[in-house]
């Protein structure tokens, strides 16, 4: 391709078929640039979605930790309440 372009630069008259080739190459270049831009946009969207997913995971992990701690406190309180009730039942039975 470079050779063909260099040859065309040297010509004072450019044949019609060579002009058609140049136009074809220019159109191809424009299409390739559009594809590159579209791919870049899609990549940017994907990166944004990935980062958002990471934030969501961190948030959910924090929620999970808080829920687990709260559940552990409830279980501890229930165990204490059960123990108190058992002690009262044993005291009443004596």
User: For residue range 43-89, what is the model confidence (pLDDT) as tens digits?
Assistant: 999 999 999 999 999 999 888 889 999 999 999 999 999 999 998 88
Are 65 and 73 spatial neighbours (Cβ–Cβ below 8 Å)?
no
Question: What are the distances in angstroms from CA 92 to CA 5, 78, 79, 80, 89?
Answer: 105, 21, 20, 18, 5
**pTM for this entry:** 0.54
**DSSP, res 12:** S
- Structural domain total, the chain: 1
Q: Domain limits at 15? A: 2-93
């Amino acid at each position: 391709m470079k050779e063909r372009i260099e040859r065309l630069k040297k010509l004072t008259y450019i044949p019609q078929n060579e002009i058609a080739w140049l136009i074809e190459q220019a159109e191809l270049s424009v299409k390739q640039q559009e594809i590159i831009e579209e791919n870049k946009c899609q990549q940017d969207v994907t990166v944004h979605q990935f980062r958002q997913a990471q934030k969501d995971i961190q948030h959910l992990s924090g929620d999970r930790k808080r829920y687990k701690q709260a559940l552990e406190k409830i279980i501890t309180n229930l165990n204490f309440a059960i123990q108190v009730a058992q002690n009262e039942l044993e005291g009443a039975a004596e």
